[in-house]
Amino acid sequence: MCGIVGYIGTKAATSVLLKGLKCLEYRGYDSSGIALLNDSLFVCKKKGKIIELEKELNGLSKDLSTYTVGIAHTRWATHGEPSDLNAHPHVSSSGKIAVVHNGIIENFQILREKLALKGFKITTQTDSEIIAHLIEYYVDKYNDFLTGVFVALEKLEGTYGIVVVSRDYPDRIIAARNGSPLILGVGEGEIIIASDASAIVEYTRKVIYIDDREVVDIQRDSYQTYDLLQKQVEKPVEDIDWDIETIGKKGYDHFMLKEIFEQVESVKNTCRGRLLTETGTSRLDGLNLKPEDFSEIKRIILIACGTSWHSALIGEYLIEEYARIPVDVEYASEFRYKNPILTKSDLVIVISQSGETADTLAALREAKQKGVKVLGVTNIVGSTIARESDGGVYLHAGPEIGVASTKAFSSQVMVMIMIAIHFARRKDMSLESGQVLIEKIEKLPQLIQSMLDTAGDIKNIAEIYKNASNFLYLGRGVQFPVALEGALKLKEISYIHAEGYPAAEMKHGPIALIDENLPVVFIALKDSIYGKIVSNMQEVRARGGKIIAIATEGDNEISNYADHVIFVPDVDRMLSPILTVVPLQLLSYYIAVMRGCNVDQPRNLAKSVTVE
């Protein structure tokens, strides 16, 4: 959460920083600010979207073109309401130090009281402000910028990604990380530090991933990385394999709509080079599992949050169905606090689109501390989860800017399918069964396209229900997690209350909600439990509820029970979530747009949840 960008070079820093903030706005957008440095320190902060900051800067009579060093921040509020005052950067009492911060300082209240006793004037409600005062105190005490930062960091408890500038050291930027991502971009005569590569790629593809408990001292023509013991650390320079055009809207009204329609290609990219028809299996070399490991694994634990948790639930069905290995699915936010029982025969797989999700990363570390092998499934190359896992699978879905995940979800489900096949072929699945399944998987992208072709019909349904106050989503078996995901999408971007349930559970409480004002979305494919779903639909219909059904092409019976039907191609039951989720994504999108909501930047949400 929150976005950080810092620049030192020969260009006008304001332009670079504002462009960087716009690339990072999906990470937080309730306020933003900028600090520029030459022989003086200039700070400007504004509540609201980055456009408000830009307007403020454009309205100044001050010439900002001479500043070639600066830091900037776009905020997702944790401590203190969104306001000009609480926005970053935060400046120390004397005006010498400016800091931008992602994360949460857990002992800020104690530090706040101590700093107040030393005469520092605390002006904001945030935990971040105390970092600026603390650094100033120790820089003055030791008469050295880098030493002052190191000593200040020793006093902080919690998570941080911070970038600091000092009026007394106008040609330096110091950054530090502990639990909140930072990436260093190394260009020709310029260096950029940011919390996400999207702010860097316009200027350079050469990056260095800063690890936890590391500090980087950046000067105009050099940089040096240290650990917290002040020992120099040599870091490899790596290449980013995508460019700035990849994250444009490409003519779509919103990133979310673009990313829904990109699922044809993103699913192809996830599968590319990994489906082996001849041997009826999937190639996932990144798992780093030896042949003997497969026979030793007795249980798989899938850990995730939010949308990724829903893909994990689908993974549970897939792995148990095909590989016949017991699977537990855990919320990452609960896993680390329950003193989990893990054994050497367990395999933990953590799933995170960003690879930086704080709860998921903490769960990964908890599992590794207990001596269990941990695999990571993530979209971001070089992310913390990718680096700290024992192995894993990249989604290769491409950058996802819309806060509500769409194409990353379908790619996660595809990875779950490939992991299930990978394990199944090493157990009881026959060559022929594997080959048949691979052939079915290879047809999925074109079937996704057929779902996208129904967007106009879904838009018409959205028009009817755009003013509903509540929705209920129901599915059974592998469609239950899809119902959860459909409800979450609607909540996230339209602010309509929605719940997902196993359809059979409707009778155990939710049926009390049903009346003529409640739209109920059923995922009712023609499978072995179709009759059960139809019974549930009749129960809703008898109570006046309005039914939207996601049904199998050729099902002529379903219209007898549903007010609206969206057909999906007839496909293998276990593969169907990749198709059934698409109309639910589109339904949420169109309803949100019709209600005037900002679908790419829904209120109170941010793309990467890097705080607990």
Which residues are known catalytic residues? Answer: 2, 607
Q: Which amino acid is at 85?
A: L
Q: How far is CA 325 from CA 242, 300, 331, 465, in A?
A: 37, 7, 20, 42
Give 337's contacts (C-beta < 8 A, 6+ positions apart): none
Q: Is the peptide bond before 445 cis (omega within 30 degrees of 0)?
A: no
3-state secondary structure 286-355: HHCCCHHHHHHCCEEEEEECHHHHHHHHHHHHHHHHHCCCCEEEEEHHHHCCCCCCCCCCEEEEEEECCC
- Distance in angstroms (rounded) separating the CA atoms of residues 233 and 105: 25
What does the angle CA 270 – CA 312 – CA 296 come to, to the nearest 5 degrees?
A: 90
Q: Among all chains, which residue has been given the structure tokens 């044809």? A: 264
Residue length of the chain: 612
350 and 364 Cβ atoms separated by less than 8 Å? yes
From 427, 409, 386, select the one nearest 286 (Cα to Cα).
386
Residue whose structure tokens are 């960091």: 153
Contact of 547 with 533, CB cutoff 8 Å: no
DSSP assignment of 39-67, as one string? Answer: SSEEEEEEESSHHHHHHHHHT-SS--TT-
Contacts of 138 by beta carbon, 8 Å cutoff, 6+ apart: 147, 148, 149, 151, 152
The answer to whether 138 and 131 have CB atoms below 8 angstroms apart is no
Coil, strand, or helix at residue 494?
Answer: helix
Q: Rounded to whole angstroms, how far apart are CA atoms 378 and 245?
A: 22
Residue carrying structure tokens 């401590």: 79
Q: Which residue's entry shows tokens 């930047």?
A: 601
Could you count the other beta carbons within 10 Å of the beta carbon of residue 595?
15
